[in-house]
Amino acid sequence: MSDILAVNKKIKKCNQEPVEIKEFLKIVPGKPGVYIFKDYSGNIIYIGKAKNLYKRVRSYFQNKTKYISYSKPADFIDRIASVDYLVTDNETEALILESTLIKKNKPKYNIDLKDDKSYPFIAVTVNEEFPRVFVTRDRSIAGAKYFGPYTDVHAVRKTIEYLRKIFMIRDCKKIMPDKPCLSYYIKLCSAPCIGIIKPEEYGKNIELIILFLRGKNNAVIDKLNREMEEYSRNKEFEKAADIRDKIEALSKLSSSQKIFYAGGNKWDFITTAGNRESPVVSLLTYREGKLVLVNNFTIDNTGYFNEKEILSAFIRDYYDGLDDIPEKIFCQAGIENPELIARWLGVKAGRKIEILVPKIGDKKRIIEMGLRNSILYLEKKKFEKERNQNKIYEESVNLKELLGLINIPSRIECYDISNLKNSFPVGSMSVAVYGRIINSSFRHFKIRTVREQDDCRMIGEIITRRLRYIQNGRKRDKKIKKDDVFYLKPDLLVIDGGKAQYSTVKNILSREHIDNIDLISIAKKEEVIFCNKYPDGIKLNLRESHVRILIKVRDEAHRFAVKYHRKLREKNMFNSVLDGIKGIGEKKKRAIIESVDSLEELKSMTAGDLTNIRGVGCKDATKIYRNLHR
């Protein structure tokens, strides 16, 4: 099977009008591939695969499937502004590509898998010229091959330590350091950084390590024995002695290590429990007939998926990138596309993989045990959630009493200003709901009416603009979506500032006759809080959890404001650099700004790199490059 990066990609897009989407559907090919739905803001909201793109994509826009077959929200189809698709050579490649794109983009209506315990894995960075081998809990390292999971992290680390001594593989994170480090001098690394070992020889050592991690200890020792005999025949006795020492060390390691399972049956049992809003998945791992691992996962974003789809998505996400795939995977129920997924796993593992649903016998009893485990874990998570909610409620009540507030501060909004002298003044809004920071609700403001450096007037402007949406909730602003957070009334306003800023906003609330929203301000450095109860300020104990949430939401507002201010400054610097270059108009400027993160990055690009930007030709690229480096 071809690498997914080499898939024959054919990308098409349609514009935002529903009529244009229907016209566009006529040209969608009846081939396997991946389809991508985007909303009116250009955000990816759903990614799916299809054996026949034409039939699958069209089915979403037919009345009979709008509410039933795909079980999406009632207005799901109305949210689709554009449809992209990528054609693949076959359905298996479509499955791989779908998994990759979902992990990268995390669409709103795709399932999101979260590991409860995050057991350790061994990662081998096979995509690097000189790969590393290390213990990690991160399954998102690009190009890495994973082994595990393992329950005994100490034994795993000890094994990696022995393998490093035997094969002298690097552990530095730099791709190519300038000089050998201490590991080379104490014989823990073969120093590929200075060319002492060739990539081919280093690669052979990595291959042997991978065989060992797969439990094929005897195969590793047999290979080394043949290599030692070859060196002996050629009278290269020093090299033969080195191989002999490796064999002895590996033999000792093989007899002592307990974390790998050579041969024998490898079976996984998968169960799920819970309602559609908050299911969990349990994975029972059996090796050589023994239960060696029980792992639980919480599944987010499942309100629009049935049991088959949840189990199918779990198998796809969990085994993607994993080397140790069991011969048999037993599920409590059938999954979506079982033959396709089994075939895909078989290609990855290099052998036949079966996905089965046991009906009777011991395997059925193991599934029942897994289901009981899923239910118990679900009850545990429910208890923890309720206990946490009770704790948050108690802390909110404590904050209300401490500061003499009118409301229990469930929804807190904090505002800050960022500017540099008189340039690019901006404001920000951060939000916390029930003690949790809600990044998706953050908003920023450009200061419109204040020209000089006056923080009080600036904070007054953004608060006035914010309150307008609460007061005129029924008269919706056409530029703001009807479900935007601007229409939600906060319980508490927090101002990043001192007594002057507090007084400014208090006067605005009084002028607008708003008496059902609480107000405080927090002065930096001293961390003094000003409010109705303490008009001259009070310094609170920052170790108290109900006080810490105020500091956290304040710090987030400050960070968000500074980030936006820097973005505007950077954009202005871009425009200044590009101004006056003949042939570079506003459209091309915008394309350049959207393609490059910083001015430094732009300056580091060659003329050839610049031609990759949409709308920038060879002549334009040459002019830009010369202007940046004159």
In the prediction, which pLDDT does 599 show?
A: 66
Percent of the chain beyond pLDDT 90?
A: 13
Give SS3 for 559: helix
Is the same domain home to 415 and 554? yes
Residues 434, 518 within the same domain: yes
Nearest to 589 by CA among 600, 576, 601: 576
Instruction: Give percent of the chain above pLDDT 70.
Output: 83
CATH, residue 18: 3.40.1440.10
- Poorest-pLDDT segment among 362-371, 551-560, 591-600, 620-629: 591-600
Task: Using the 3D structure, point to which of 503, 525, 559 is the last residue of a domain.
Answer: 559
Q: Please check whether residue 392 lies inside any domain of the structure.
A: no
- Please give the residue that has the higher pLDDT: either 348 or 479: 348
Please give the Cα distance from 46 to 37 (Å, whole number).
5
Asked if 160 and 78 sit in the same domain, the reply is no
CATH number at residue 613: 1.10.150.20
The neighbour count for residue 542, using CB atoms within 10 Å, is 10
Of the listed ranges 316-320, 374-378, 402-406, 578-582, the least confidently predicted one is 578-582
Q: 213 and 127 in one domain?
A: yes
Residue 72's SS3 state is coil
- pLDDT band for position 317 (50/70/90)? confident
Handedness of CA 151, 153, 159, 164 (dihedral sign): positive
- Residue 57: predicted pLDDT: 85
In sequence order, what are the residues at sequence separation of 6 or more whose Cβ sits closer than 8 angstroms to the Cβ of residue 405? 399, 491, 492, 518, 531
Q: Average pLDDT in the 511-531 region?
A: 90
DSSP 269: E
Q: Is residue 397 part of a domain?
A: no
* Residue 117 pLDDT exceeds 60: no
The reply to whether 423 and 371 lie within a common domain is no
CATH of the domain at 316: 3.30.420.340
pTM for the predicted model, two decimal places: 0.51
Per DSSP, the residues of 421-456 read TTEEEEEEEEEEETTEE-GGG-EEEE--S--S--HH
481, pLDDT greater than 60:
no
Does one domain contain both 475 and 434? yes
Asked whether 116 and 297 are in contact (CB, 8 A), the reply is yes
pLDDT at residue 65, rounded to an integer: 45
167 and 78 housed in the same domain: no
Tell me the C-alpha distance between 611 and 79, whole Å.
34
Which H or E run includes 44?
strand 44-50
In a domain, residue 552? The reply is yes
Identify whether 573 is part of a domain.
no
Q: Over 70: is that where the pLDDT of 260 sits?
A: no
Q: How many domains does the chain have?
A: 5
Q: Measured between alpha carbons, how far is residue 466 from residues 76, 245, 443, 459, 469 in Å?
A: 29, 73, 10, 11, 6
Share in percent of the chain as helix, strand, coil (round to 5): 45, 20, 35
Q: Which of 110, 144, 165 is the last residue of a domain?
A: 110
Sheet of strand 354-356, all strands in order from the earlier edge strand to the far edge: 112-115, 290-300, 280-287, 266-273, 328-331, 354-356
502 is a domain residue: yes
Domain match, 524 and 466 both: yes
Whether 388 maps to a domain, the answer reads no
- Say whether both 234 and 156 belong to one domain: yes
Q: Which of the two residues, 265 and 87, has the higher pLDDT score?
A: 87
Task: Give helix 217-233 / helix 237-256 axis angle, nearest 10°.
Answer: 170
248 & 139 share domain: yes
Say how far apart CA 444 and CA 542 lie, in whole Å: 27
The pLDDT of residue 16 is: 42
What are the pLDDT digits (tens) for 75-114?
677 788 778 888 888 887 788 788 778 877 788 777 766 6
Paired tokens of 155: 């034994």
Is the pLDDT confidence value at 69 over 60? Answer: no
Residues 270 and 252 in one domain: no
d(CA 301, CA 303): 6
Write out the residue range of the structural domain in which residue 464 sits.
Answer: 411-559
Q: For the ranges 54-58, 173-177, 459-463, 583-587, which has the lowest average pLDDT?
A: 173-177
Within-domain flag for 294? yes
Query: Is 329 part of any domain?
Result: yes
Q: Which of 110, 137, 159 represents a domain boundary (last residue)?
A: 110
> Which pLDDT score is estimated for 461?
92
* Pair 171, 104 in one domain: no
Per-residue pLDDT, 29: 85
